[in-house]
Amino acid sequence: MLKTFVLFVLTALAEIVGCYLPWLWLREGRSAWLLVPAAASLALFAWLLTLHPAAAGRVYAAYGGVYVSVALAWLWLVDGVRPTAWDVAGVGITLCGMALIAWAPRTS
């Protein structure tokens, strides 16, 4: 269970970095060379998703909960914007949904 969660966090970080670097280029006027590591990060993101043992659709759905959590941590640590109580509540609800999807008993 911990291995799966850590893999989800690494996957989320790869996706966020892969999207954040083009954002820096387009919105902040940074170098277009940021697109090179952005593309590599998005390729890493796609590869990391293949390491999960569950069906792809279930992995993507469960991954969404962790992505929301990591994105709000990014908001705080990188963007310098402290999440609100509503943000934290939303993360809690999202993680509960993720847990239901990821760890529900399966019949097959």
Q: Is residue 83 part of a domain?
A: yes
Q: Is residue 22 part of a domain?
A: yes
Q: Is residue 81 part of a domain?
A: yes
Write the pLDDT tens digit of every residue in 51-90: 877 777 777 887 888 899 999 999 999 999 999 999 999 9
Q: Is residue 67 part of a domain?
A: yes
| Percentage of the chain exceeding pLDDT 90 | 62
| The pLDDT value given to residue 86 | 97
User: What contacts 24+ positions apart, CB below 8 Å, involve 37-44?
Assistant: 41/14, 41/15, 41/17, 42/14, 42/15, 42/18, 44/14, 44/18
pLDDT bin (cut points 50, 70, 90) of residue 108 is: low
Which residues form the domain of 99? 2-103
For the chain, how many structural domains are there in total?
1
Write the pLDDT tens digit of every residue in 36-47: 999 999 999 999
Q: Is residue 108 part of a domain?
A: no
